[in-house]
């Protein structure tokens, strides 16, 4: 049996203990239009957590690998849906499977901790080939809806998944 390499990361809420680490996460300048208007992207995330656009509460998240900040994103929880926003992997850590591992960790978190949530959704720019490949390979499909000028993609959250023996 082949055993694939897995990428070991951990997810943390951005808080008083790690917000400066989150600010170290930077994308390439040409990638910025796909994820935020300014960087560090964590600054935009933290501003939105304060402002709460559309009245929704945001949770700011940091991705760590071996204690080093390698990515950021935010989650917004609304009824049966969780929205993944401002997802950015640091430019020096891209193409190492970190985004894929982070998406899978978020899905596991929702399966285990948010029984009312049945969909993880996000938007992705039509020119963002990398992100579309990532989301397609992690089970997202376009819904046909648009939000803020971008197509909406969705992945089902399945609770009570049978345990593997
Ligand atoms: C898109 C992004 C999040 C991917 O992060 P990453 O950690 O490099 O992605 P991974 O290494 O986990 O790659 C997973 C899959 O995504 C796709 N992918 C990632 N980067 C890619 C690239 N530059 N070109 C084409 N496909 C790419 C591939 O299908 C890849 O699988 P593979 O390595 O088996 O081919 C990262 O490039 C990024 O932060 N970009 C700028 C911000 C952004 O676009 N965020 C998404 C907003 S919707």
> What is the CB < 6 Å shell around ligand 1?
27, 31, 34-35, 87-89, 94-100, 124, 128-131, 133-134, 137
In a domain, 2, yes or no: no
- Give the closest residue (by CA) to ligand 1 atom 10: 97
Pairing of strands 81-89, 119-123: parallel
pLDDT at 1 over 80: no
Which token pair is 61?
């998240």
In a domain, 88, yes or no: yes
CA of 93 to the centre of ligand 1 (A): 10
Residue 163 has a pLDDT of: 63
- Give the closest residue (by CA) to ligand 1 atom 31: 134
Cα 35 from chain centre:
11
CB atoms within 10 A of CB 32: 15
pLDDT at 42 over 70: yes
Query: How confident is the model over 15-28, as a mean pLDDT?
Result: 98
The strands making up 58-65's β-sheet, listed across from edge to edge, are 10-13, 58-65, 68-78, 81-89, 119-123, 150-156, 141-147
pLDDT tens by residue, 47-76: 999 999 888 889 999 999 999 999 999 999
- Give the closest residue (by CA) to ligand 1 atom 22: 130
In a domain, 161, yes or no: no
**CATH code for the domain in which residue 117 is found:** 3.40.630.30
In a domain, 150, yes or no: yes
Based on the structure, what is the number of domains in the chain? 1
In a domain, 145, yes or no: yes
CA of 99 to the centre of ligand 1 (A): 7
Residue range(s) defining the domain that contains residue 115: 10-156
Task: Look at the alpha carbons of 33, 18, 100, 109 in this order and tell me if their dihedral is positive or negative.
Answer: negative
In a domain, 25, yes or no: yes
- Give the C-alpha separation, 27 to 41, whole Å: 8
In a domain, 165, yes or no: no
In a domain, 45, yes or no: yes
pTM recorded for the entire structure: 0.95
Residue 64 has a pLDDT of: 98
- Give the closest residue (by CA) to ligand 1 atom 4: 99
CA of 165 to the centre of ligand 1 (A): 32
């Amino acid at each position: 049996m082949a055993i694939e390499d897995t990428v070991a990361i951990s997810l943390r809420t951005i808080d008083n203990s790690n917000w400066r680490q989150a600010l170290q996460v930077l994308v390439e300048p040409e990638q910025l239009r796909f994820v935020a208007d300014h960087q560090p992207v964590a600054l935009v995330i933290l501003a939105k957590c304060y402002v709460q656009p559309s009245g929704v509460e945001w949770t700011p998240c940091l991705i760590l690998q071996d204690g080093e900040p390698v990515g950021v994103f935010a989650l917004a929880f609304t009824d049966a849906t969780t929205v993944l926003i401002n997802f950015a992997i640091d430019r020096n850590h891209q193409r190492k499977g970190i985004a894929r591992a982070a998406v899978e960790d978020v899905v596991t978190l929702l399966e285990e901790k948010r029984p009312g949530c049945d969909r993880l959704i996000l938007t992705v720019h039509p020119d963002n080939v990398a992100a579309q490949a990532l989301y397609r390979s992690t089970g997202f499909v376009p819904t046909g809806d648009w939000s803020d000028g971008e197509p909406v993609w969705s992945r089902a959250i399945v609770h009570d998944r049978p345990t593997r023996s």
